[in-house]
Amino acid sequence: MADIFVSYRRGDSAGHTGRLVDSLERHFGRQAVFQDVQSIGAGRRWDEVIRDGVSSCRVLVAVIGRDWLAADQGGRRRIDDPQDHLRREVVTALEREVPVVPVLVEGARMPVEAELPDDLKPLVRWQAHELSDSRWEYDTGRLMSMIASAAAIVPQQQVAPRPRRIKPVHAGAAAALVIAGAVWLLWPDADVIPELPPDAVPSVPDGGAHADSGAVAVAPASFEGNWYDEDAAEWGIRVDQDKVEINHTAAGTGTAIGYGQGTISDRSISFEYVVMVPDEPRLSGQLVLSDDGQRLTGVLTDLKNGGTTRILLHRRSS
């Protein structure tokens, strides 16, 4: 099994987790990293595979976004359910006494002990690490060093990035959205003291510390152009300064599936998405650009029922 287990909540931090996994795989190698969407093969029980993964990993990376402690539609926090998959992942690692690295994204804060169930309270004893979009390369470089030191995992230099197919829970989700009247999927579901403030992060020349740690250059953030998803549907993104317009059309026919408008912040897009069906359900979306600039990963969340659908877009070559 993989040495590094990445624990996250899909509706909370899917886009940033996908980008982090890209960085982890380049640094430590593909086989060293476990993420549910890419590590569970067809025909296998996800709960058993996750249990085995947590039970054999050498370090657990707990990605915490702003909705990590959020409540479900009934008003109950999912983290309070003893069967919550995320809670079970982290508790298992804590009980095994393997290193746990809380990773904060999207400006999230580290939960305090009073906010956690009893079996999760030991999580606050582990030093958290913040990942910022504006200093991603520097922050992930430090994170790789922390993981290698804490779990004695040897980095694999010059591991080429690989395209990752994120398999949706239901094949053809985008097409089914239109055909079935937009039936969206509901997925199962001490403060950090930064070592350096954002404006104090030193620049690293070529061949410097990041080269030694296996980091690679990050492509400039560019969202403009045509993209396609796992169902070959087209996503046209048009940029005007920090504003974006998104047009989502069916493969071949060009039939409108949905459209969105939003804003850009560094390497991510936050937008509102409207499905082109009679009742026009509205969703909120987030997409995060991969380090190589060729993929967008993220999630659409139904504003009415909280259901979420994963997105993986590939840049279409001109």
**Better-scored residue on pLDDT, 252 or 82:** 82
**Better-scored residue on pLDDT, 155 or 318:** 155
Distance between terminal CA atoms of the chain? Answer: 39
- How far is residue 99's CA from residue 91's CA, in Å, rounded to a whole number? 12
Q: Model confidence at 46, in pLDDT bands (50, 70, 90)?
A: low
Helix (H) or strand (E) holding 198: none
**Better-scored residue on pLDDT, 50 or 214:** 50
Domain ranges of the chain: 4-151, 173-188+218-315
Q: Dump pLDDT digits (tens) for 167-191.
A: 333 334 444 444 333 333 323 333 3
CATH number of 4-151: 3.40.50.10140
- How far is residue 138's CA from residue 132's CA, in Å, rounded to a whole number? 9
Among residues of the chain, what percentage have pLDDT more than 90?
34
Quick one: pLDDT at residue 232? 81
**Better-scored residue on pLDDT, 157 or 103:** 103
Looking at 107-251, list the stretches that DSSP marks H as alpha helix, in order from N- to C-terminal side.
136-151, 173-179, 209-212
Q: Model confidence at 157, in pLDDT bands (50, 70, 90)?
A: low
* Cα–Cα nearest to 76, from 87, 64, 89: 87
Does CATH number 1.20.58.1610 belong to domain 173-188+218-315? no
Range name among 4-13, 172-181, 246-255, 258-267 with the lowest pLDDT average: 172-181
